[in-house]
Structure 1
Amino acid sequence: MCKAKIKLVYRQVMDSSSEAAFEKAILQASYQEFLLKSQAYNREGKFKTFSKMKANDGRANSLHYKLDFSVGHFIAQLDRKMPLVKDNLGNKLSFETARFELIESHTEDISLHKIAINYEAPELSLVELFGEYMLLTYDDPSNVEQLQTFILRMQPDLSIVSYQEVANNAIA
């Protein structure tokens, strides 16, 4: 029996304190792209930070989208598995989409470059809640007889972004 259909998003923030090779590679690639692409919104070079560029020219918000291309191949290597979210058996949670976000940057100081990747899981069925633990299943309409369940603990940076109760707690 299913209580609700939910969507989860995990937000992985990366900055100069990040130590994993994956994070360092994404930071370096996105910073180099920031230096290149931000020139269009800062022709005279008088704005050093992303936030000042946005305040001066709202079109600078497109840098989120433009920098995403520079890190796409790193995200593709994850094989649609979130790098830091695992169920109780150690299996990584799957994701459908990954959205790049430029939080802040500075044209002269890479240590101030801060980004996030928001991983959105496919729709999941919430079967039961046990405190901070959720009993979940991936939706598999081809196999309603025997659903493969897993337990996931809520954790920092993991959010439920969509929640829809299922009528009569039946599998839809």
Structure 2
Amino acid sequence: MATALIKLTYKHVIDANAQTDFERNIFNATYQEFRMKSQAYNLDGELKTFTEMKARDSRANSMHYKMSVAGLHFLIPLNNKIPFLQDTLGNELNYEQPVFELIESDITQINAHRLSIKFITGTLMLHQVIGNNMILSLEDLLQDDRDFIDTFTLPMQPGLAITSYRELSKQSAPPVMNTSFKNN
């Protein structure tokens, strides 16, 4: 049965090298938001970068949230699917929560603008790790013992991390049912 309950976080960095319309739209919208909102932390116009603003005024850390306001509506068409992350069969995983992080920006140089979106999954069951691949299934406490469990295989890769982990014993492992992971 399952060995652990986990949550995954996939971090996707967006910068001036944005390749897709999705990335370019978020890049441009969040840069414009940064330029507008950064004025509150740079009244004398002396500071140029996000790092300088944070060093002078810790309230500038609220820019992470303000960037999310500018970018969240671009996530709606994703239907809670993580772009750029697929299992070995080409299916996208669902996310439950996106978290925007402003890595760096500069009011005078758009090319210095860099942010990330961390896509955090719901609870998954980790059954086994084979080489660089995790054998996973979706958690469902409603089903009882079954001979087979619907699983999927996800390779570990840059930007992907297990960010929550709870080990299970064989007696306490909850059964699973495939409800939120849909095959395309």
TM-score, length-normalised on structure 1? 0.96
Query: Where in structure 2 are the equivalents of 1:83-102 lying within 5 Å?
Result: 83-102=83-102
C-alpha distance in structure 2 between counterparts of 1:47 and 1:77, whole Å:
36
- In structure 2, do the counterparts of structure 1 residues 147 and 141 end up closer, same or farther at CA, with 3 Å as the change threshold? farther
Taking the TM superposition and a 5 Å limit, the aligned residue runs for 1:52-131 are 52-131=52-131
2:165 to 155, 158, 163: 163
- Residue 178 of structure 2 corresponds to which residue in structure 1? none
Tell me how far apart the structure 2 counterparts of residues 47 and 115 of structure 1 sit (CA, whole Å): 19
C-alpha distance in 2 between matches for 1:169 and 1:13: 40
For 1:44, the equivalent position in structure 2 comes to 44
Give distance in 2, aligned partners of 1:126 and 1:166.
10
Distance in 1 of aligned mates of 2:131 and 2:171: 19
Q: 1:18 and 1:68 mapped to 2: Cα distance? A: 17
CA distance in 2, matches of 1:47, 1:143: 57
Q: Following the alignment from structure 2 to structure 1, what is the Cα–Cα distance between the partners of residues 21 and 143? A: 38
The answer on 1:154 being equivalent to 2:156 is yes
> What residue identity is the alignment partner of 2:141?
P
Matched-pair identity in %? 43
Specify every segment of 5 or more residues in structure 1 that has no aligned partner in the other structure, as ranges: none
Determine if contact 1:64/1:101 at 8 Å carries over to the other structure: yes
1:169, distance to aligned residue in structure 2 (A): 6.3
Of 142-151 and 59-68, deviating more is: 142-151
The alignment of Structure 1 onto Structure 2 pairs a total of residues equal to 172
Partner residue, 2:5: 5
User: CA–CA distance in 2 between the matches of 1:95 and 1:63?
Assistant: 23
Distance 1:152 1:67 in 2: 30
Structure 1 residue 162: deviation in Å? 1.3
**Is 2:26 the partner of 1:26?**
yes
One-letter identity of the residue aligned with 2:128: E
In 1, the alpha carbon distance for the partners of 2:163 and 2:10 equals: 10
RMSD, matched Cα: 1.2
Aligned to 1:17: 17
Alpha-carbon distance in structure 1 between the residues aligned to 2:7 and 2:102? 23
The equivalent residue for 1:132 is 132
Query: Once superposed, which parts of structure 1, at least 4 consecutive aligned residues long, lie more than 4 Å away?
Result: none
Shift of 1:129: 1.1
Residues 3 and 169 of structure 1 are in contact (CA less than 8 Å); yes or no, is this contact kept in structure 2? no
